[in-house]
Structures are given as C-alpha cells and as structure tokens.
A and B are shown apart, each in its own frame.
Chain A
C-alpha cells in the first residue's frame, strides 16, 4: 500500500493509541488463555465480495523494497499464532508435516489430485506467450482441465522443471498452498491450436497460429526421444485476483486482518526459502484466488513458481539457468558491498564470488558449505522476512527438522532426473543445508518441543523432546524446573512446591486443583541458549490435563 500522508499518520497514531487501550483492557479482562486455546484453525473464510485484482510491477517491487522497509512495527511478535506458538490452519497455511507423520507417498503426491494432464486425447492450446522470461502456453486437456505449460531452457535440460516440481512437493509438505505441478512429456502432434486461441507478444495480442506453437517449441530443449519435457501447472480452483504482498493487508478482504509482515508463516518462510535457496520468493510469485460460494466467497493464498529454487535461477538474460552466485548472499541492490567495492577501486571482492560449487546441468548451482541460514537473503528485502524473530524461526525450523533423509530423497525423486547422480547430489545438498538450518536455529533458544501430559492422577508427567539433542547438536544433562499455579485472569503465578531437577525430559506434574499450572524449565547444557527458560502452561479441566501454552526465551528475538 502507499505510505499514508504524514497527517494521516498522526491521526492514525492517535486512533491506534485509543484502540490499543480499549483492546488491551478488554483482552486483560478475558485472561491470558481462552477456552478454545490453543486455536487449531483460524476461520478466515467468512464470505466476502470478490476483491479487486492486485497487479504488481517486477521492477517496481525490486526498487520499492530496496530503498526502504515497507512493513510497519518493529519488534512485534507474530500475530496469527496460537498459544503454543503454532500457526493455526487457515487459507494461508495447513499444518502437514509439522504436526503429523507424513508418509513418503503423501509427500510425493503433494497437492496432486490427478495424474497430470490427460494424455488420452489432444491438448487444445488456448493461449500463448511468445516473449518474456518463460515463453509457454495454456492448454485444455481431454478432461477439460486447464494447465499452464512451462519449459526448460536450452542447455539446461530438467533444471527448471525438476526444481519446480521438487519445490512444489516440499512447500506443500511444509504447509503452504501450491498448485498441482506435473512433469509431463508432450509431442507436437498432441497440440492443437484452438480457433479462439490468442497469442500475447509484448504489448500486442493476436490470433494464435500453428506456427506460433512451433516458434515456442523451437526455444525448448528436446528429450532424446524427440518429446518436450514440461511442467504442466494445473489451474488452481477459483478466480485469480493477483498477488499478495509481504506487508499490510488487503483492504478489500475482511478476512485479512493480520498484517502480512506479522504473519508467522510468512516470516518463517524465510527459513524454508534459505534451506531451499528460494531467493525468488517475491510477492510476484504468489497468487491469491477467490473461491466463490454463491455471490460471495473467500480468498485462498498460494505460493507459485518454484522453477528458480535450489540450484536453478535466472541468468542475466532472465532465462532459467544455474543459480547466480549472488543468490542467497546479497540483495540485488545492497549498498554496503556496493560502496566497499566502489571505494576500494574494485579490489575488495565479495567473498561469495569465490565459493566453489559442484555444478551439474540438471541441478544448477547449489552448495552447502558456505551457506549460513541466518545470513541468507532473497533477491531484495522482504518486510516479513526482515521481521522474523527467533520464535518464528524456531517454528519453521521444527518443521524443517521433520524432513528426514528419506523424505528429502522422496521429494528430490519427484524431479525425475535423467542422471541418478544428479538426484543423489541434490538430496545430499538439501540434507546438508537442512542440517545447517537446524544447527543454527536450534542453538538460539531452548528447543524443547512436543510437550504432552501423560498418565493420570498422581502419575501424571509432563514429557517433551529436546530437538537439539535429537538432532545431535549437543547434550543436556538434565532439567531444572519450578512449578507454579497460574492465575489466568491476572497473569500471576504462585510458586508450587520446591524447585526440582529431572535427568530426562519428563517431569512430575504436581497434584493441585488450580485451573492452570505453569512450569519453568531450564536445561543443563554447555549450549548457552539451551539454559534459557521455557515456560509450559497446563490447563486442568476435571480429570483432563493438557498443554495450553508454551513460551521460550531467546537469546535475541530479532535477527536483523
């Protein structure tokens, strides 16, 4: 959104203060935990009229975000989280691998609901684009489904198509909405130009001819059998209404009440993008779709186009090619290195220029030795990424941790590489980058996770896992803990018994009739951050005791 006029800012600030007082007072009266905490689903699908389309300029987006931070609010914690620090299911995100075992079959299937375009009949070409970064066309298959057809670049067979499909599987497993992307093989004979097909060429549009299809195919690499390998991206259900921004909210979407820079799944996306080197994670690679329900409906938010992730990127000609050496290390416009180079007469060199890569034509350019997840950068500043705090990063990291070697191999296998060595190489790099993500972020706070009350009555125990230990990052010799009653309405705790120590991740739950209990847990470890406290809140309703909240202290909440 456009920054408001200064006078409007002042009025807004005054109104904000009033609202803050009103809401804060109201919230206090409701208590820290509500009866439905921890919220598992954010019902952001109340019926709304169809919002206007948001069209973004690629070049403006780069400049706009490079020159200033467009988000609002510094040091603000993510707002769309439940009391366990999780992101409830919503039109933005659906918890998948983070909350349950995701079978290899589920992961490999991803969002797919069919087996790809129907090959039992011809594909009707209904639209084409002969220029631009990704020349391609739109087809309707024999089933009547619409697909967008994208090609690899000459010289880099399988690079873009494999990256696109692997990215689809991984981001879907993580929990984002993604389109169904299929690797398919087509022959010229299968394509028939629809009489009403239109070809877009720059600013002009005209009827599409057979020769236009030939011209587009002439730019694509062919398989040894003469076919063309493509990604067929199935049109998502609903009516596209453009992109979503990484800041602010849609003013014409009543469901969109959390500023995007304060949404945990958008902040935490930084961790996933770093892991998978998705430096092209810009607003333009998102899609909002209006899902109608009668005359009204709601939006569903997608991430699209993963053809420039992992080792694939776009070259200076803006064609898919091995990833730029700059990718992930420096913004397109970043002043400090510019001035360093400028005033050193070019003698200062960017360190990433000397990074060695094991390049492969199907994989592109990816490495895991120089990679530092906390320093990773997208192509240009992102207001949500910039506001990622350690607790956002932890949320994302615990999801990354759920991708074991087997699941990574399964996702990479979806890339259908011609060279088996390519798949092995990529899987190894993705594993190594995952390990670096875990090694950094799990050392920034106490990574206690999966708290659960087990047993009944006096035998009840609070059990949990230590993700740092689980992933071999260090040892914990035991846990100091202090129980307290927790007055939910007042936010006050009263000590309950003496502090205790447990050699393992299992603590006795005191027998007490309070509605809420809280235990502060500190690990004994050489890792400084693992000694930071974690508070786990329990709610007791009759005979049922459940974990209702968790709070972790971090060494430094903000990364930037």
Chain B
C-alpha cells in the first residue's frame, strides 16, 4: 500500500518529458497546475519526504514475509524434510507410496533402509506394502546391497539386476555385492487370457499368486559399464482363484492343460545369472548409447520335475540421436525363450508375457503369454524442453509355444503417442495413448519404458 503511495508520489513529483511537453506552450494541465501560487523554491526536501514514508511505515504493524502453502511444501522438499512417500530412496524409516506390481494400483507401505551400518559396508533393508487392489509385498535384504550413495535400487527382484548398474552415479564404487534376500508377495488379481498366440481377449480371467522367495545374490561390477549378477534361491509359489469381482477366476475358464500348473504348484530351486553392458549416456534418460543384457535362469521343480525349465533372454536397446540430442530414435529388441525339460511344462504363472505399460502398450496387461516371445519397440522421441519429452512409438511382439519359435505372422502391433515429464536423469511421469487391434489404451506410469 505504502509502496504504491511512493509510486504515485514519484510519478507526480519527478520530472518527465510527458509533463514537460504538456507545458511547452504554457498550457497548464496536470496536477502541477493546481498550485499556481507556489514559490519557486519549495519547502521540504526529497530526503525528508522519503524519510517520512519510512517513519510512516515504521508506525504500521510489521508484516513479516509469509510463504504460502506450496512454497513451504517445496522448501521442505528442497531441504529433504518431507516424508519419503515415493521416489526417494534415502536412509531411515519412513512411509512410502508406490506401485508394487503391474495391476497392484497404489500401495502404501513402510520402508527401513540403513546403508553402511556402523561404518561398515553392511546394509539393512526392509519394506512392507499393501495396495488398494489388495496386493501385499514384504521383503528383507541384508548384506552388501548394491546402492547409489544412500539410495537403494527398486527392489531385489530379478529385473532389478537391469537397473542396479543403471542406478550408479559418479560415486558408485561398490564393486562386490553379496546379500541375502527374503521376499513374500500376495498378488490377488493377476490376469490370464490363455497361452500362445491364439489366446482370446474374451477369455479374461484372474488368478492369485503368492509365495516366498529366499535368495542369495552375488554381483560384481567390473567397470562402470559392465556388471554381472548371479542369484540362487528357493521359491514356493501358490496359485488360486483371482479375487477380482468383475472377472472370472482362472479355473472357471481354463483347466490344467490350458493353464499348466493350475492344479499343483511345486516348490522350485532357482538359479540364474545376468550380464549387463550399459553404454547409455544417462541410463534413466538416454540420448545416445546402447544397452545389452543377457540372462539365464534355471527353475528346478523340487517335487516331480514336471515343471523344470531353463530360461534364456536378451534385451538390447539402442539410442541414436537424429542430428541433435533433442531428437532420438530409440530401439529395443527383447526375447525370452523357455526350454522345459523333457516331459515338463512351463507353469502359466511363470510364463513371460506381452501387453501393458512396458511392452505392447495397446493391449491389456499380460495379454499374451507364452514359453517364447519376442518384442520389438521403436520410439521417435523429441524433447520440447529438458523436462518435457514427446514420443511416437510402435510396438510389435509375438509369443509361441516352447520350441516352435515366434512366428512373424503372429506379430501383434500397436502404435501411439506419449508425453514424458523428466529431468536429466530419469523419467518421472509417462502418459501414453496406444492404439491396437483390441482398442485404445491409456498408459500412466512413473518410469521410462526403455
């Protein structure tokens, strides 16, 4: 208020060409004309006038700066004083909001993470989550866990091997990792449409899968770009009818022939290894470079050898700037091949799948399952700013029974457009609309597709 009074005073008191120009012909206009009788030398100085303004303000109640709600919130975020609900991987015990599995919807949980206990290289991690879809997830990790500073990779899942190397930053120096991991999950609404390329979207059923997995994981980082990880453990899966009230349970549409392992789920000894070569410039938001992962896993049925199988997979990704780094052609080829032992079958709940936010985005989650599959993805990405990226994409993939090899005639395709909110290091939000032969789907995700 007072400031504007000063403003008015300045406008009225300071000379200006407008005022002077108006007075050129001695015409008397403006506020100056109201006091024709004033003497040539005015009383009172400018310093006194400015001082009077200050004295007047001093008499008014002092009003300290008061940040608004969002400013207070963002200040706390800047200072790391916000509860760690999502996205942050920091030491301590705190609540967290995140997704725990495809279809889990939002999960609320608690996490404890203490790296370098008592100055050693021994780390402790534990978490527990319950989602709005009724999914549950619990885990504990003890040992030399791969982490980036105080941050922990997503979770000690098999797929996390892919990301552990990508999560490193300049101070990542833990070459050897050795840790024990115990996980238990209960996913209540996993989807099953049948196995093989001829599955019908109308056969949409759900099943429940749960079980503990205890593993020992050993990893070695040869180089900032090259790492290997091996793991072995015991897995005790249980499968049952899905709990989605709107969809039929899996056993209402399929029998044990169409859904191998439906009637009986043995315990497994698992073992595997993954080699990761990461040549991307920025793993979480690459503009150039390449990424290759080779993976082998063994699932050994401890009871009747009816479900013994080996899995071989590869994941190759390339990023080619098109004249400038703001335009990138991103390509991915993924293949997974399960080899069941003689007379054995691959359980339907362990089969690889296509469909959903990470693969065939125009199809429902787990839309296509099979013993073998291939996936090809191509994206033209362009950055409107460092924080906003758009993409036009094309996905194609096929599944097949073991040994038959995916048939290109069975390729399912989709295409679409995407918008990503990101920073230099990672994608925070991914919105996509994808069109396929089975309709249009909208994708909302909190990570990069590849």
Show the binding face of A for B, using Cβ within 8 Å. Answer: 1-2, 12, 15-16, 19-20, 23-37, 39, 41-44, 46, 48-49, 51-52, 54-60, 63-64, 72-73, 76-77, 79, 81-83, 202-203, 245, 248-252, 254-259, 262, 316-317, 333-334, 337-339, 341-342, 345-347, 349, 353, 487-494, 515-516, 518, 533, 535, 537, 549, 551-553
Distance in angstroms between the alpha carbons of A83 and B10 in the assembled complex: 10
Whether A79 touches B10, Cβ cut-off 8 Å, given contacts A35-B45, A60-B75, A487-B40, is: yes
Question: Which single residue of chain A is at the shortest CB-CB distance from B66?
Answer: A2
List, in ascending order, chain A residues with CB within 8 A of B40's CB.
31, 487-489, 515-516
Whether A489 touches B38, Cβ cut-off 8 Å, given contacts A24-B12, A77-B14, is: yes
Q: Does A551 lie within 8 Å of B15, measured CB to CB? A: yes
List, in ascending order, chain B residues with CB within 8 A of A202's CB.
80, 90, 150
Q: Does B70 lie within 8 Å of A341, measured CB to CB? A: no
Distance in angstroms between the alpha carbons of A533 and B17 in the assembled complex: 9
Q: Which of B13, B44, B51 lies at the interface centre, i.e. has the most chain A CB atoms within 10 A of its CB?
A: B13
Q: Does B58 lie within 8 Å of A46, measured CB to CB? A: yes
Q: Does B51 lie within 8 Å of A23, measured CB to CB? A: no
Distance in angstroms between the alpha carbons of A333 and B19 in the assembled complex: 40
Distance in angstroms between the alpha carbons of A211 and B402 in the assembled complex: 57
Residue B9 at the chain A interface, CB threshold 8 Å: yes
Q: Does B71 lie within 8 Å of A341, measured CB to CB? A: no
Question: Which single residue of chain A is at the shortest CB-CB distance from B46?
Answer: A34
List, in ascending order, chain A residues with CB within 8 A of B326's CB.
341, 346, 349, 353
List, in ascending order, chain B residues with CB within 8 A of A56's CB.
71, 75
Q: List 5 A-B contacts (CB under 8 A).
A: A2-B67, A23-B12, A490-B32, A492-B23, A533-B17
Query: Out of B15, B36, B75, B423, which one reaches A316, CB within 8 Å?
Result: B423
Query: Out of B5, B17, B55, which one reaches A553, CB within 8 Å?
Result: B17
Nearest first, the 6 A-B pairs at minimum CB distance are A346-B382, A251-B63, A489-B38, A316-B424, A491-B32, A254-B58
Query: Out of A34, A51, A60, A533, which one reaches B64, CB within 8 Å?
Result: A51
Stretch in contact with the other chain, from B120-128, B131-139, B384-392: B384-392
Q: Does B36 lie within 8 Å of A490, measured CB to CB? A: yes
Q: Does B57 lie within 8 Å of A16, measured CB to CB? A: no
B68-105 with Cβ < 8 A to chain A? 68, 70-71, 74-75, 77-81, 90
Residue B42 at the chain A interface, CB threshold 8 Å: yes
Q: Does A337 lie within 8 Å of B385, measured CB to CB? A: yes
List, in ascending order, chain B residues with CB within 8 A of A60's CB.
67, 70-71, 74-75, 78
| Distance from A131 Cβ to chain B, minimum over Cβ atoms (Å) | 9
List, in ascending order, chain B residues with CB within 8 A of A337's CB.
384-385
Distance in angstroms between the alpha carbons of A333 and B423 in the assembled complex: 13
Q: Does B77 lie within 8 Å of A1, measured CB to CB? A: no
| Distance from B60 Cβ to chain A, minimum over Cβ atoms (Å) | 8
The A/B interface has a contact count, at CB < 8 Å, of 266
| Distance from A242 Cβ to chain B, minimum over Cβ atoms (Å) | 8
Residue B257 at the chain A interface, CB threshold 8 Å: no
| Distance from A317 Cβ to chain B, minimum over Cβ atoms (Å) | 7
Q: Does B55 lie within 8 Å of A254, measured CB to CB? A: yes
| Distance from A24 Cβ to chain B, minimum over Cβ atoms (Å) | 4
Q: Does B80 lie within 8 Å of A77, measured CB to CB? A: no
Show the binding face of B for A, using Cβ within 8 Å. Answer: 1-17, 19-20, 23-24, 26, 28, 30-51, 53-55, 57-58, 62-68, 70-71, 74-75, 77-81, 90, 150, 324, 326-327, 380, 382-388, 390, 392, 423-425
Q: Does A251 lie within 8 Å of B16, measured CB to CB? A: no
List, in ascending order, chain B residues with CB within 8 A of A16's CB.
1, 4-5, 8
Q: Does B51 lie within 8 Å of A252, measured CB to CB? A: no
Distance in angstroms between the alpha carbons of A363 and B9 in the assembled complex: 46
List, in ascending order, chain A residues with CB within 8 A of B38's CB.
29-31, 489-490
| Distance from B281 Cβ to chain A, minimum over Cβ atoms (Å) | 11
List, in ascending order, chain B residues with CB within 8 A of A552's CB.
17
Whether A59 touches B74, Cβ cut-off 8 Å, given contacts A250-B65, A488-B41, is: yes
Distance in angstroms between the alpha carbons of A19 and B90 in the assembled complex: 54
Distance in angstroms between the alpha carbons of A43 and B39 in the assembled complex: 27
Query: Out of B14, B26, B385, which one reaches A338, CB within 8 Å?
Result: B385
Question: Which single residue of chain B is at the shortest CB-CB distance from A21?
Answer: B8
Query: Out of A52, A254, A342, which one reaches B65, CB within 8 Å?
Result: A52
Q: Does B8 lie within 8 Å of A30, measured CB to CB? A: no
Q: Does B17 lie within 8 Å of A551, measured CB to CB? A: yes
| Distance from B392 Cβ to chain A, minimum over Cβ atoms (Å) | 8
Q: Does A24 lie within 8 Å of B9, measured CB to CB? A: yes
List, in ascending order, chain B residues with CB within 8 A of A32's CB.
13-15, 19, 32
Whether A489 touches B4, Cβ cut-off 8 Å, given contacts A1-B66, A57-B78, is: no
Q: Does B32 lie within 8 Å of A28, measured CB to CB? A: yes
Distance in angstroms between the alpha carbons of A487 and B387 in the assembled complex: 59
| Distance from B394 Cβ to chain A, minimum over Cβ atoms (Å) | 15
Q: Does B45 lie within 8 Å of A2, measured CB to CB? A: no
Question: Which single residue of chain A is at the shortest CB-CB distance from B43?
Answer: A30
Distance in angstroms between the alpha carbons of A23 and B53 in the assembled complex: 11
List, in ascending order, chain A residues with CB within 8 A of B62's CB.
49, 51, 251-252, 254
Question: Which single residue of chain B is at the shortest CB-CB distance from A82?
Answer: B46
| Distance from A122 Cβ to chain B, minimum over Cβ atoms (Å) | 26
Query: Out of A15, A25, A42, which one reaches B34, CB within 8 Å?
Result: A25
Q: Does B79 lie within 8 Å of A203, measured CB to CB? A: yes
Question: Which single residue of chain B is at the shortest CB-CB distance from A42?
Answer: B50
Whether A83 touches B4, Cβ cut-off 8 Å, given contacts A46-B58, A353-B324, is: no
Q: Which of A16, A27, A345 lies at the interface centre, i.e. has the most chain B CB atoms within 10 A of its CB?
A: A27
Q: Does B17 lie within 8 Å of A27, measured CB to CB? A: no
Distance in angstroms between the alpha carbons of A281 and B220 in the assembled complex: 45
Query: Out of A34, A63, A249, which one reaches B3, CB within 8 Å?
Result: A249
List, in ascending order, chain A residues with CB within 8 A of B68's CB.
2
Q: Does B20 lie within 8 Å of A493, measured CB to CB? A: yes
Distance in angstroms between the alpha carbons of A535 and B392 in the assembled complex: 61
Question: Which single residue of chain B is at the shortest CB-CB distance from A37?
Answer: B46
List, in ascending order, chain B residues with CB within 8 A of A64's CB.
71
Q: Does A494 lie within 8 Å of B26, measured CB to CB? A: yes
Q: Which of B8, B9, B20 lies at the interface centre, i.e. has the most chain A CB atoms within 10 A of its CB?
A: B20
Q: Does A19 lie within 8 Å of B10, measured CB to CB? A: no
Distance in angstroms between the alpha carbons of A248 and B1 in the assembled complex: 10
Whether A19 touches B78, Cβ cut-off 8 Å, given contacts A46-B54, A316-B424, A489-B38, is: no
Question: Which single residue of chain B is at the shortest CB-CB distance from A2?
Answer: B68
Question: Which single residue of chain B is at the shortest CB-CB distance from A78?
Answer: B10
Q: 8 new A-B pairs (CB below 8 Å) besides A1-B66, A20-B5, A203-B79? A: A30-B13, A36-B45, A43-B50, A77-B14, A83-B14, A262-B7, A345-B392, A491-B33
Distance in angstroms between the alpha carbons of A292 and B422 in the assembled complex: 46
Distance in angstroms between the alpha carbons of A117 and B358 in the assembled complex: 57
Q: Which of A34, A77, A245 lies at the interface centre, i.e. has the most chain B CB atoms within 10 A of its CB?
A: A34
Query: Out of B13, B50, B423, which one reaches A27, CB within 8 Å?
Result: B13
Question: Which single residue of chain B is at the shortest CB-CB distance from A47?
Answer: B58
Distance in angstroms between the alpha carbons of A475 and B390 in the assembled complex: 53
Q: Which of A55, A349, A490 lies at the interface centre, i.e. has the most chain B CB atoms within 10 A of its CB?
A: A490
Question: Which single residue of chain A is at the shortest CB-CB distance from B119?
Answer: A211
Query: Out of A1, A39, A487, which one reaches B46, CB within 8 Å?
Result: A39
| Distance from B6 Cβ to chain A, minimum over Cβ atoms (Å) | 5
Distance in angstroms between the alpha carbons of A515 and B41 in the assembled complex: 8
| Distance from A79 Cβ to chain B, minimum over Cβ atoms (Å) | 4
Distance in angstroms between the alpha carbons of A37 and B14 in the assembled complex: 10
Q: Does A12 lie within 8 Å of B1, measured CB to CB? A: yes
Question: Which single residue of chain A is at the shortest CB-CB distance from B169?
Answer: A317
List, in ascending order, chain A residues with CB within 8 A of B45's CB.
34-37, 39
Query: Out of A73, A254, A492, which one reaches B28, CB within 8 Å?
Result: A492
List, in ascending order, chain A residues with CB within 8 A of B19's CB.
32, 491
Distance in angstroms between the alpha carbons of A16 and B6 in the assembled complex: 10
Question: Which single residue of chain A is at the shortest CB-CB distance from B170?
Answer: A317
Distance in angstroms between the alpha carbons of A552 and B16 in the assembled complex: 8
Q: Does B42 lie within 8 Å of A488, measured CB to CB? A: yes
Q: Does B35 lie within 8 Å of A551, measured CB to CB? A: no
Q: Does A345 lie within 8 Å of B7, measured CB to CB? A: no
List, in ascending order, chain A residues with CB within 8 A of B49's CB.
30, 34
Q: Does B20 lie within 8 Å of A535, measured CB to CB? A: yes
Q: Does B75 lie within 8 Å of A489, measured CB to CB? A: no
